[in-house]
Structure 1
């Protein structure tokens, strides 16, 4: 059974329109810092990351720093659209995003301040912005989750293009409203070209796709044996396996061929809004996100790839550099509006 879609068409239209407006005015540069940082012991965070994943880390930061964090949680794409609408009047000082695409769109609109070198240079090139407007925080690989009771990894295609073939009609599920899925489609457009991406989306929509609200629901369907394969981020499987034991997981993971758009490593990341360029509290929080302590938290609690050199990835994951597509610059994932319009055209969101 298909679950409810995460976006209403009205919300989609507003988001697409705002992002399209951003894409149409790409010339603005991020604000440059100037003067001495000031602090009032509090700041507002817009978080496109789930509360259950990020709030424990925020609690730790508040306890250690004494800084109060006022958090607004929401879907990454919707919060990105809200920030574009609010512009310089936004109450937010920091945006924490589920994917690089939303960060790129806001950077292109000139809404982010330039980060100081100690934050901007903490993460290796390829996993962060090219203009120091935002910093990557964690890496997450796109994977295929499959029913291990019915299939083996060898039964599955090695490229995402093959999962829209008639053989997989009604057997594939995913959350099309999810920011990471939309960034994957954007990557497909960048890597394979607009025509190839549209053909893939058209085939996907016409292949009795099973639509889910989020990655967790997709994983659950596979783990319960009601769905053969799904497209998700890797860490959802690792989180559930840590709770119930990997040996008790019916769902299993397959990493697609290196360089394939279906195996991209996207990043979560954070940027400081331009009006908060000298907000010492906001700066301290973003600096904390790329600290060894926070990076270790992400490894141990959310099972994501750390981006800070010297922090080991969770056990059982392929080496990060074995998954990276050298032809893809994450900064090129900023055109979310075209991707959303494409998905809407074929009734997926």
Structure 2
């Protein structure tokens, strides 16, 4: 079931949770005294991507999974509204920002060290309330019939210049774009972020619903460049051949706010702190088998050591911004307010 909860509701909820951010989290009981052979998952990732993996988990574990699908912002708003009454036991998020914000509200239990230790520090929570599952790099898709690789800016700051008016595609309601803007705020400060968003909005960007639509627009010559996650391009290239695509990829320079590596991730809700089935699902998501699934099917970076990234991707550590702690991407409410202030959402 796909939800329809406005982003404004999530922003309002995030503002409210800032007032209760010191809530206490429960400790996971790894003995799982309340396992009953079923688990309820709220997934902020697409059904077409996630359901085959859920089916595999059910087959291997014998645990049935009831999944409620929606985008990350919608489900974040729903979790805040439901609070302790939520039927959700596990939340799978599209980005680290929503995970951090919900963790601050005290909605996640603390995971066992053996779960969070499966992923290197820097790609998971600093307090063990959620664990990173996959990595996704922010990139610039460009129309090679209009631009050479050398003509693509190395920094997203360039896209506020007059020469790029009307030529840039963005998806401001998308969680990944909002996480990027949050990173811009964290790295460059609130004043700089306010100016950048204002200038970008004034530069008449073309607005799309999601990364996939942006990539299609670049491929069709509708826009010259678009800000997306890397794996959309790799998935398209695997289907059609990179040589048949107008859209090509450029990676912003290391350290630029546009070059962040965000993560998907999962947490166990406090009400399921003693449920072994919930923990089993999270452990499965960071298992070598599931990580390989994401490599093969979604072209995302695996986070578990020993699983190789998809062919053709730059080394993950070459893209990571050392000045950015993913835990700092939690302030989604402020980012959504900023985007709303300048008319982008």
Q: TM-score range, shorter-chain basis?
A: over 0.9
State the shift of 1:22 in Å: 1.0
Q: Which moved more, 1:25-34 or 1:76-85?
A: 25-34
Q: Which moved more, 1:49-58 or 1:133-142?
A: 49-58
Pairing 1:19–2:26 present: no
Q: 2: CA distance between counterparts of 1:168 and 1:122?
A: 43
Unaligned runs of 5+ in 2: none
State the shift of 1:33 in Å: 2.7
Pairing 1:289–2:285 present: yes
Once the two structures are superposed, residues 59-111 of structure 1 have per-residue CA deviations (whole angstroms, 9 ceiling, x without a partner) of 11111111111000101011011101111110000000000000000000010
Q: 2: CA distance between counterparts of 1:97 and 1:15?
A: 14
Pairing 1:236–2:232 present: yes
Pairing 1:82–2:72 present: no
Helix, strand or coil: the match of 2:249?
strand
Pairing 1:158–2:158 present: no
Identify which of 304, 311, 318 aligns with 1:315.
Answer: 311
Q: 2: CA distance between counterparts of 1:204 and 1:231?
A: 12
Pairing 1:113–2:137 present: no
After TM superposition, the structure 1 = structure 2 runs for residues 7-46 of structure 1, keeping only pairs within 5 Å, are 11-34=6-29, 36-37=31-32, 38-46=34-42
Identify which of 245, 264, 267 aligns with 2:263.
Answer: 267
State the shift of 1:174 in Å: 1.0
Identify which of 199, 211, 221 aligns with 2:207.
Answer: 211
Q: 2: CA distance between counterparts of 1:234 and 1:275?
A: 35
Q: 2: CA distance between counterparts of 1:34 and 1:327?
A: 34
Q: Which residue of 2 aligns with 1:4?
A: none
Q: 2: CA distance between counterparts of 1:15 and 1:287?
A: 28
Q: 2: CA distance between counterparts of 1:347 and 1:24?
A: 26
Pairing 1:225–2:235 present: no
Q: Which residue of 2 aligns with 1:181?
A: 177
State the shift of 1:35 in Å: 7.7
Q: 2: CA distance between counterparts of 1:25 and 1:70?
A: 29
Corresponding pairs, count: 342
Helix, strand or coil: the match of 2:6?
helix
Q: 2: CA distance between counterparts of 1:73 and 1:185?
A: 24
Identify which of 167, 171, 179 aligns with 2:167.
Answer: 171
Q: 1: CA distance between counterparts of 2:305 and 2:11?
A: 36
TM-score by length of 1: 0.96
Q: Which moved more, 1:62-71 or 1:176-185?
A: 62-71
Q: 1: CA distance between counterparts of 2:309 and 2:31?
A: 36
Q: 2: CA distance between counterparts of 1:256 and 1:146?
A: 12
The 8 Å contact of residues 29 and 275 in structure 2, kept in 1 or not, is answered as no
Cα-Cα RMSD: 1.3
Q: 2: CA distance between counterparts of 1:288 and 1:194?
A: 38
Pairing 1:325–2:307 present: no
The 8 Å contact of residues 302 and 309 in structure 2, kept in 1 or not, is answered as yes
Q: 1: CA distance between counterparts of 2:81 and 2:281?
A: 24
| Structure 1 segments of 4+ aligned residues over 4 angstroms from their partners | none
Q: Which residue of 2 aligns with 1:197?
A: 193
Distance 1:282 1:35, change over 3 A: closer
